[in-house]
Structure 1
Amino acid sequence: MARIKDVAAQAGVSVATVSRVLNENPSVNEETRRRVYDAMNQLNYVPNAVARSLRTTATRTIGLIIGDVLNPFFTELARSVEDEARREGFTVVMGNADERADQQDHYVRTLLEQQVDGLLICPTAEVTPLVQQLAEAGRPVVFLDRTISGLDVPSVRSDGSAAIGELVRHLREQGHRRIALASGPATLSTGRERTAAFAAAMTAEGLEVRPEYVRPGDFREGSGRRITAELLDLPEPPEAIFFGDNLMTLGGLEEIQSRGLRIPADVAVASFDDVTWFKHTAPPITAIAQPTAEMGRLAVRLVIGRIQRGQAADSHVLPAHLVIRRSCERKGIME
């Protein structure tokens, strides 16, 4: 097994520098950090936190690392995980990765050092050596909502493809032809899947996928507002905008309202991720609802099965569904 000094030699840095990278010391620049991570990957180096965690006694705790605590989707997911774990006699310790690979690794390392029995992770786009070694070590780990290609880790996620198809059909039936997508990042599995499903649905409905109408964001409010502004400033703006998640929808609504435009008379709006406040807006927002609570409960059962019985776990894909409200009605028609 490779040692820390082997990593240092491979990366051309000191042992102290490798230690600083592992401990996320901000004094290490990005280029050096990347060299160290590459060396760890090449040597199959197992960080100490993972190695130590292989020698544990049961603590009846589960670590949960979510993408963004400010996103209502992750809040609901965390609540369902906590409720199911409590019913099974486990405690949940949560970390907020804030959609950052280094923050994710910080919590993975911290939770392992606290000797949690298993981990539920909503992974970031980047495959870090720590997460890769964690998977290869055979620890009880389950991915939630997202997957990482090339890692043999069971996952629980939803599939919105059929619901996106229903949404595009609904928009076409309401008379909309110029339909835009404010998607998530292509580096995330959820961003890629929703973009591909949108393109397939548009083609199936005989609608053109215009390149200027498909714009990637980052599943944050700011990118939703920025993309909406860019779309509305086009010489021929879209008649409808489908947002890749609820926070991007919020940003889009802010931009539309700031321009004094009406929904859906001037532009129709739909969202992936249904949240409780969508039904209280004026007009209520059409959205694709994920089975969030069931995803959380199922993930807990899978990881506990691996903890207690060493069971191999299969990945699970749960269907999302379309909730039609008034934000996509035929232009000019309001209840």
Structure 2
Amino acid sequence: MEYDVIVVGAGPAGSVTAAAVAHAGYRILTLEKNASCRSPCAGYISNTINTDLPDDSVIQSKITKMRTYFPDLSFHDFELNGFVVDRPRFDMSLALEAKASGAEIKWNSPLERNFPDGVKFRDETTDGKIIVGADGVFSKTASLLGLQQQRFAVCAQYHLKGIELIPGMCEIFFNADYAPGGYVWIYPTGGGSAKVGVGITKGKSPRSYLDDFIDNSPVAKRLGGTKTEYITGALPVGGLRERLCFGNTLLVGDSAGMADPVTGAGINNAMLAGEMAGKAIIKALENDDLGHLADYEVRIKKLLGRPLSRSLEKRKKLEACASNELLQEQLPELWVTFKQYWE
């Protein structure tokens, strides 16, 4: 069967794209390499998200403030308006919304090759007029286009229960001893539980840093609960790719480098990109002209190019802070909740 669009990846970017185009009446196939949706990120979403949540039941907690800690544990509070979601359930809700709009989803179906005469996955080959690469930081789609692997941070996260939290507060810890090139996060999930994780760009394994933080840091007494889940992952920190459109192929979400290089936040940008990709694809199909796909790249660069470029420069400076003394001095220029970051 020939599809109008083949979407590789059932994360937020891919599912939003698939839902938009399927809703317009086109034939969509989504290929997901895993048996179900999974994600290693903390799952914070700002209330500025420009689309409705698929299901309020995916919300684990409301967030009203972020507390950012310097290495000496002095801190800076910043008001937020967002929430933490259960990422696997959140992603699955978006995938099911795409399916309800008419998209077909094939699980356990990693992309193998994109031939001139068809897309191969598992033991099948099918055709698609347009290909959307929404397959994450280690994008097979990007690799088949001949693109280099972007720089990435490696992450580790526990779900801890029975710990001491500050209601409505997500906490960010900068300390070169526990998170070189990155930070430790605590995101509450309700009922005395939280996602506690670390993202780093250098040093030893992220799990060893995370264990050390939980067991030996100055806030260790607050974190002496029960570990109920452990996950690992990676996120791009190389900034927005120079090109997002390649003939009949688009890159969206992490495969396009849309996560913020400093904070790692990427859900809002991924869903925004899915909406924009969907509009460009519909226009291309309506007019039988793939040239309209280039509109997507133009619009994304207009909206995300400058902020992601600024963040990439901040990322380079953050990694240059190899000591806690440098972090203590320079952090206000490197983290988004400080006004110095934006000056």
| TM-score, with structure 1 as normaliser | 0.31
For the pair shown, the structure with the greater C-alpha radius of gyration is 1
Bigger share in strand: 2
Q: Which has the higher contact order (CA 8 A, sep 6+)?
A: 2
Query: If each structure's helix is expressed as a fraction of its own residues, which one has the higher value?
Result: 1
